[in-house]
Every structure is written in C-alpha cells, then in structure tokens.
C-alpha cells in the first residue's frame, strides 16, 4: 500500500496449476484497477516504487519469481527467477537516481540480492551479495534502508533483521557488511 494504490494478493501453493492473483485498487477513486496474474503459487512480498508507477512482487517458494509491473498498463516489465533460497521480502531502495528502480530481496541462508532496473532500456540486472562465513545459517526475515546509523557521508546501509535476533547491515557503496554492534 502507498498513498495512491493498494495491492492485495491471493494464491495457494497447494493447487497443482494454481494462479496467484494480485488485485490492484486506486485509493483516490476507490475503484479496482484490475488483476495481475503471472505468479503461479502465491505472493510472499510486494512493494511500490516511490513514484507510484511500478509494483515489484516476489513469489512464494515454488513460484520463485520476481516480477516488475507497470501499474498503469498492468503489464509485466521484467521478471526473473530469484534463485535457490527461499526469499522473504522485497523492498524498494529510496536512495536511487531517476530513470532507475533499485530494490533488494532478502531470504534464507543470508541471501541478499540487489536488483536494478533501467526503466528506459528495460534492462534488469542483479548482484548477489556474498555471504560471510559467520552468516551462513542466518535467515534474513526483513529489510530496511537507513541513513540514521553512523554511515559515512553520501552512503546508507541496507539493514536486515535476522532469524537469530540480530540486526545485520550492508554498506552498498563499499559493498561490504558492517558491524553495527547489535548481536
């Protein structure tokens, strides 16, 4: 949900050839805008772009698909498999320049993937962040972005909540995990 749209999803991994449906509603007009139907099992997580033009959806385990939707047309801009680990959340990066969408997915076995969509060229690329040995058995459950931590000027941290109760931070500019003293 954002100030302009609400997206609601349904689906079931128990159906053999199931269909997960995302219903999109306009908050201002209080009217349904349509159904988005590419996922087959269910929807794990969704996030809107900050300009209200795009929706990024993450399928459940067994679907394992990330989809970027154009909200106005209801069409898929790009989609990509998310890999072998169960993904738990997708989150839009608020600190990105115009013409690009950047978002991250986090999941089990300390999976952190940074995705970037060049909207003009319609090209989606991803960067899987390497996992330090100390995080091998940690599952990232949630993700946020912050400039409030003592990050160097001009940078920010991607902060993950983990299954062991810890908070882990990744400095995207320096491309390294940082110790923020919460364990």
Return the pLDDT at 2. 78
* Residue 171 and residue 129 in contact, taking contact as beta carbons nearer than 8 Å: no
CATH number of 5-178: 2.130.10.10
Return the pLDDT at 17. 62
Return the pLDDT at 94. 83
Return the pLDDT at 142. 86
**Residue 183 above 60 pLDDT?**
no
Return the pLDDT at 150. 54
User: Model pTM?
Assistant: 0.88
Listed in sequence order, the residues at least 6 apart from 24 whose beta carbon sits closer than 8 Å to its beta carbon are 5, 6, 7, 32, 33, 34, 35, 36, 55, 71, 74
Return the pLDDT at 181. 59
Average pLDDT over residues 70-80: 94
d(CA 163, CA 156) in angstroms, rounded, equals: 23
**Model confidence band, residue 154 (pLDDT cutoffs 50, 70, 90):** low
Please state, for a pLDDT cut of 70, what percent of the chain lies above it: 88
Q: Give the mean pLDDT of the chain.
A: 85
3-state class (DSSP) for residue 135: helix
* Residue 99 and residue 119 in contact, taking contact as beta carbons nearer than 8 Å: yes
**Model confidence band, residue 135 (pLDDT cutoffs 50, 70, 90):** confident
Which range (50-54, 98-102, 132-136, 161-165) has the least confidence?
Answer: 132-136
Average pLDDT over residues 108-120: 90
Q: Domain map of the chain by residue range?
A: 5-178
**Model confidence band, residue 18 (pLDDT cutoffs 50, 70, 90):** low
Structure token digits, residue 171: 């400095």
């Amino acid at each position: 949900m954002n100030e302009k749209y609400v997206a609601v999803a349904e689906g079931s991994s128990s159906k053999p050839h199931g269909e997960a449906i995302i219903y999109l509603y306009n908050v201002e007009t209080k009217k349904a805008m349509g159904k988005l139907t590419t996922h087959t099992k269910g929807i794990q997580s969704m996030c809107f772009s900050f300009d209200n033009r795009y929706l990024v959806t993450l399928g459940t385990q067994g679907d394992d698909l990330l989809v970027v939707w154009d909200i106005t047309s209801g069409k898929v801009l790009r989609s990509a498999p998310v890999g072998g680990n169960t993904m738990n959340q997708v989150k839009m990066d608020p600190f990105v320049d115009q013409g690009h969408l950047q978002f991250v997915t986090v999941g089990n076995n300390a999976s952190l993937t940074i995705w970037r969509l060049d909207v003009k060229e319609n090209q989606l690329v991803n960067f899987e962040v390497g996992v330090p040995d100390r995080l091998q058995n940690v599952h990232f459950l949630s993700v946020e972005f912050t400039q409030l931590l003592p990050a160097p000027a001009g940078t920010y941290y991607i902060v993950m909540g983990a299954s062991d109760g810890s908070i882990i931070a990744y400095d995207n500019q320096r491309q390294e995990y940082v110790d923020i003293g919460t364990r």
